[in-house]
Amino acid sequence: MSVQLSDRNAFLAELSAADYELFRPHLTSFTLSVGERLQDLGAPVEQVVFPHGGLVALTMPLRSGGGGGAILVGRDSIVGAMGAAATAPAMCDAEVYIGGRGARMSASAFRYVLDQSALVRRLVARHCAALMVQAHQTALCNAAHPVEARIARWLLEVLDRSGGFDVPLTQSTLALMLGVQRTTVNLAAGRLEAAGVVNCRRGYMQIIRREQLERHACECYRNVKAYVSHLDAAPAAIASPTTPAEAVAVRKPA
């Protein structure tokens, strides 16, 4: 089934009509099912996924079976773009944590489209930069901040990508995403609930007071959001490069 213009995720919505036409013949709609693996660490990247809803977690697994430090991708971005563009193995696992709809295309078709448009390459680089800053900030966050602040941050990240105030993530899933014990999450979530910030229910967490949740969150949430806002504000059009002669003329005093 082809993807309609109204179905596009944030990346597809940024494209000009001409650039979207490069993608359109290669895109198919599908359902993102909870637990579905979109890519596996070290395996060839065979598809690029554009979520329209739901939530995908990018994680680095450990040999012991654990993991953590999840990077979240929703309708705001793309899954598999870096590996597909570089014809490289997947740098992480990608698993659907919240179901929804999405569109996908083969990695080879994605590379073909990149070769056709400099503007598409620029937009892909912008989305990859947003994922990289999340990864760097998350590494710092895991090392420096208490679990309660990290939970508040992740709940805000999920809200930003899914909408609404009911987060369909169990505390067990949240523990996996944070790379901590479930009992640690239970205690921290209990403190947030006692403060009237959230309600912990079976199978989901309900956000009661978002403004309070933001106060409990660490600085990482604001840092990532500010960086992504800066990326979004940058012009998508590619300006003509300044020649060396023009650069000298600009610097030359009157």
- Residue 62: give its domain's CATH number: 2.60.120.10
CA dist 242 and 236 (Å) reads 18
CA dist 252 and 217 (Å) reads 49
In a domain? residue 93: yes
In a domain? residue 126: no
pLDDT of residue 166: 85
The answer to whether residues 159 and 206 belong to one domain is yes
Question: Containing domain of residue 170, as a range?
Answer: 134-232
Last residue of a domain, which of 92, 117, 142?
117
pLDDT of residue 171: 87
The answer to whether residues 143 and 206 belong to one domain is yes
The answer to whether residues 218 and 174 belong to one domain is yes
pLDDT of residue 202: 86
Per 3-state DSSP, what percentage of the chain is helix, strand, and coil (rounded to 5)?
50, 20, 30
Domain count across the chain: 2
pLDDT of residue 167: 87
CA dist 199 and 11 (Å) reads 33
The answer to whether residues 10 and 110 belong to one domain is yes
The answer to whether residues 168 and 227 belong to one domain is yes
What does DSSP assign to residue 89?
B
- Residue 194: give its domain's CATH number: 1.10.10.10
The answer to whether residues 99 and 176 belong to one domain is no
234 and 126 Cβ atoms separated by less than 8 Å: yes
In a domain? residue 88: yes
pLDDT of residue 247: 47
In tens digits, the chain (254 residues) has pLDDT values of: 444 444 579 999 999 999 999 999 999 999 999 999 999 999 999 999 999 999 999 998 877 666 667 899 999 999 999 999 999 999 999 999 999 999 999 999 999 999 999 999 999 999 999 999 999 999 999 999 999 999 999 999 999 987 777 888 888 888 888 888 999 999 999 999 999 999 998 888 999 999 999 999 999 999 999 999 999 888 766 555 555 555 455 455 44
The answer to whether residues 69 and 145 belong to one domain is no
152 and 198 Cβ atoms separated by less than 8 Å: no
Please count the other Cβ atoms lying within 10 Å of the Cβ belonging to residue 3. 24
Contact partners, residue 68, CB within 8 Å, separation at least 6: 59, 60, 142, 176, 177, 178, 179, 180
> Residue 172, class by beta-carbon neighbours within 10 Å (0-12 exposed, 13-18 middle, 19+ buried)?
exposed
The answer to whether residues 159 and 227 belong to one domain is yes
In a domain? residue 243: no
